[in-house]
A = this chain, B = another copy of it.
Amino acid sequence: MASAADDISERLEAEIVEGVLPPGTRLEEPALAERFGVSRTPVREALQRLSASGLVELKPRRGTQVLNPSIGRIVEMFEVMAELEAVCARLCARRGDPDLFADLRGWLARCAAAADTGDASAYYTANKGFHSAIYRGSGNLFLSQQAELLHLRLTPFRRQQLRLPRRLRQSLAEHGRIVAAIEAGDAAAAEAAQRAHILIQGERFADLLAQHGSGRE
C-alpha cells in the first residue's frame, strides 16, 4: 500500500538519522534506483521529500547530498528547538492533566532504569519517548508535529552526546526537574527547565566539535 517513494524516503531518512549516511554524502539517483530496485522516478520523489524536511540539500543540476549545516546553523536549530520545547513544557504545566503526569512519570522511570544500567541505547529510546510525551502534552497537535520534525532533523547531531555517561545522568536529573515543575503547575519553571535542558545540548554539541576539530568552520 505504501508507495515506493514513501518506502525509499523512510529508509533514507532512517539511514541519515542513524548516521549510516553521514552529512555530506552524495546521493546519486541512478545508484539509489539500482539499490532499491526501482526507477529514478520514485527516488527523485523521495529526495524531494527529504529535501523538504531539511535532511538533504538539493542543488539544481548539481545533485543532492546529505545536509551538512555549519556549526552556527546547528546551534541556531538547537536554540529554536529549545524554545519550541519550552513552550510545550509551559503548556503541559498549564494543563495540569493527571493522565499526562502519569505518562511523564512512566517515561521518567524508563529513563532512570536505562541510566542506572548505563544503557545508552535504551536511554536514547526512553528519552525520545519522554520528549514526545511533552510535545503531545502541549495539547497543540500542530506544535507537537513541528517539534517532532525538528527533533528528527537534529538527531544526527545529538547522537554522540549520550555516549558520555555523565551527560546521561545529568540529563536524567534535568528530566526530573521538568516533571516536578509540570506537576506543580509551575509553568514558568517548567518552561525554563525545558529550555535549559535543550540549550545545553547545543552547547555540548559545539564543545564536542571544537574538541575534535571537525572540518567545519
Chain A 123-147: CB-based contact to B (< 8 A → 1; otherwise 0): 0000000000000000011110010
Among A184-207, those with CB < 8 Å from B are none
* B76→A143 contact, CB < 8 A: yes
Tell me whether A76 and B44 are in contact in the complex, defined as CB-CB below 8 angstroms, given that A3-B60, A52-B53, A83-B87 are known contacts. Answer: no
* B52→A141 contact, CB < 8 A: no
Residue of B nearest to A90 (CB): B83
Chain B contacts for A60, CB-based, 8 A: 1-3, 6
Using a Cβ–Cβ cut-off of 8 Å, how many residues does chain A contribute to the interface with B? 26
Chain B contacts for A6, CB-based, 8 A: 60
From B3, B53, B76, A141 is in contact (CB under 8 Å) with B76
From B45, B79, B84, A44 is in contact (CB under 8 Å) with B45
Tell me whether A80 and B143 are in contact in the complex, defined as CB-CB below 8 angstroms, given that A3-B60, A60-B3 are known contacts. Answer: yes
Which of A3, A44, A83 has its CB near the most chain B CB atoms (within 10 A)? Answer: A83
Q: Give A residues with C-beta under 8 Å from B.
A: 1-3, 6, 41, 44-45, 48-49, 51-53, 60, 73, 76-77, 79-80, 83-84, 87, 140-143, 146
